[in-house]
Amino acid sequence: MVGSVPVGGGAPVSVQSMTTTKTADVEGTLQQIYALAAAGVDIVRCTCNDEAAAEGLARIVPRSPVPIVADIHFQYKLALAAMEAGVHALRLNPGNIRKPEHIKLVASEARDRGLPIRIGVNAGSLDPDIAEQFGGATPEALVASAQRELAYFGEVGFEDCKISVKSSTVPVMIDAYRLLSETVDFPLHLGVTEAGPPPAGLVKSTAGIGTLLAEGIGDTIRYSLTADPVEEARAGRTLLEALGLRERRGLDLIACPSCGRAEVDVIAVANEVMSALESRNIPLQVAVMGCVVNGPGEAREADLGIASGRGKGHLFVKGHVVRVVPEAEMVGALIETAERVMAEGIDAVIASAEAGAAEEAAATRVELLRTQGEDANHSEERIARIRELAD
């Protein structure tokens, strides 16, 4: 338990992030913590790098909406100070607190307080002797560092911990966690360290974290991005929802990639819908489709959506066309329909479909097929030409 949040043991995978403020700035740090909580974070880590930060934690923890983990580097006394400040957990880096007596002292105090510790192994700050033994920051080296720390903890009877073995190299990170999961039986905290700014940082983090979660490895996650930490929170939450590991709490927007049949700028409409609905925290899957020919059918599993055709927007709910509006009004109508679905339920909205809406959509589909054909991208013509050229 990290405060009120269970980690491991079949509990939902939790999302973590870290504040970028000076922890001594109590109000600024709390403002960021509240923003992270609103974005879906379950646990927040704050640096405790000096006495002022420890004093700040004493004021932050009682006012925080989520559990607080103190991030400790180099100075073991600050771990003791952070525990006195009331934090809910510690993160220790075995690479920069190396003296066994210091590690065991912190673990003993945490044991007596019932406070969990994350062993946070990092490829960039690995013990020099372990790195030399294994020929660098290999997966085996990262796991060996975690095992050494566990041994120190075991000497004082402390076992309430979770472990991370992070690397900025995705394949190394994946292999390290796979090895760790086969070696120990503790909750695992997943992350690609120093992933960098989006979009590359998002891709690297998702590749590493998503791969492991899909294999059933991992209990809590953090995207380490060079960006506003709120982006980390949103990315983590979105990944868990996409994998079906957490219940959807926000918008899931799907959209076609557009084609020769599209009658609107799908990208512009999708962005407009995203902007309008995201701030409302509506937990629905919403589709934006470029045409009415395939839209409602291809996106029939979406809770609701919009498809364009002949200057009109065709609104559909679970594949049923419920309303037809002028194209200029379709985003507003989509928002209104989303709010109705939330208030009245999907079945009620389908039951109250406008008379003739489905028939009008069907007629538009037939008209478009007649003028554009089934093959709006002219694939068959292209294939025939390719065959002529290849002969």
Q: Which residue has the tokens 């796979």?
A: 178
**Euclidean distance between CA atoms 104 and 102, whole angstroms:** 5
Model confidence pLDDT, tens digit, residues 116-168: 999 999 998 999 999 999 999 999 999 999 999 999 999 999 999 999 999 99
Q: What is the pLDDT of residues 57-75, one digit of tens each?
A: 999 999 999 999 999 988 9
Q: What is the pLDDT of residues 320-355, one digit of tens each?
A: 889 988 888 888 999 999 999 999 999 999 999 888
Q: What is the mean pLDDT of residues 192-196?
A: 94
Taking only the tens place, the pLDDT of each residue in 207-221 is 999 999 999 999 999
Look up the pTM and report it: 0.82
Q: Does 106 score more than 70 pLDDT?
A: yes
Q: What is the SS3 assignment for 39?
A: coil
237 or 255, which is more confident? 237
At 237 the pLDDT is: 93
Residue at token pair 């097929």: 369
The pLDDT of residue 295 = 62
**What is the three-class DSSP state of 276?**
helix
Q: Which of the pair, 193 or 378, is modelled with greater confidence?
A: 193
Phi, psi of 201 (to 5 degrees): -65, -40
Q: For residue 28, what pLDDT is reported?
A: 94
> Strand 14-18 and strand 43-47: pairing?
parallel
Tens-place pLDDT, residues 79-105: 999 999 999 999 999 988 889 999 999
Residue reference for tokens 């880590």:
45
How large is the C-alpha radius of gyration of the chain?
26
What's the pLDDT score for residue 189? Answer: 98
pLDDT category at 364 given cuts 50, 70, 90 is: confident
Domains in the chain with CATH codes: 14-242 (3.20.20.20), 252-372 (3.30.413.10)
CA distances (Å), 289 to each of 196, 280, 286, 332, 375, in order? 33, 21, 10, 16, 17
Cis status of the peptide bond prior to 128, with omega within 30 of 0: no
Average pLDDT of every residue of the chain: 90
Cα 37 from Cα 66, distance rounded (Å): 7
Exposure pattern of 144-182 as b/e (b: 16+ CB <10 Å)?
A: bbbbbbbebbeebebebbbbbbbbbebebbbbbbbbbbe
Share of the chain above pLDDT 90, in %: 65
